[in-house]
Amino acid sequence: MESFESDDGHVIIRLDRGDMVLESIAQACEDHDVDTGTVVTGIGTVSNLNIHYVDRTNLPDDQVDRNVDLELERAWEVTDINGVIADGEPHLHVTAFDGERTVGGHLEAGCEVNVLGEVTIRKLSGLSLERRPGERNVSRLVRR
């Protein structure tokens, strides 16, 4: 992984074969002091895709009971990664295609780059956000 920062607050991340997607994005946030920002685009390929999604409308209080975790082995073409970074922590979603189906959900750790990846972060100045538990233990963005 290598990352580059522009004068106007954009961070471009190059992900190489074997890099871990979410972990590399988190490292780039630390390296470039991204406290509050957005992942505005992300593309690439992964050799496995780890995501979760919510499959119900009646949310139990325990997050474990409301999430469906998918650990999908094989090559995936990542068509988009986006989300918000608050208090230096990325909360990202991903859409990917394996040649037969398209899936999407919350990006989890452990997704290994297959060929390449490219991610753009936009640092935001004058705004400081964090996530706090809200109703039904759902994480909410709030000013810090």
Residue found under tokens 């871990």: 20
pLDDT digits (tens, 9 = 90+) for 19-72: 999 999 999 999 999 999 999 999 999 999 999 999 888 877 666 678 899 999
pTM summary value: 0.94
Whole-angstrom distance between the N-terminal and C-terminal Cα of the chain?
A: 30
CATH at residue 133: 3.30.1330.80
Q: What is the mean pLDDT of residues 116-137?
A: 93
What sign results for the dihedral spanned by CA atoms 8, 27, 78, 137? negative
Domain with 83, as residue range(s), is 2-143
Total structural domains within the chain: 1
**pLDDT given for residue 138 in this prediction:** 82
141 closest CA partner among 66, 37, 42: 37
Predicted local confidence at residue 17, as pLDDT: 98
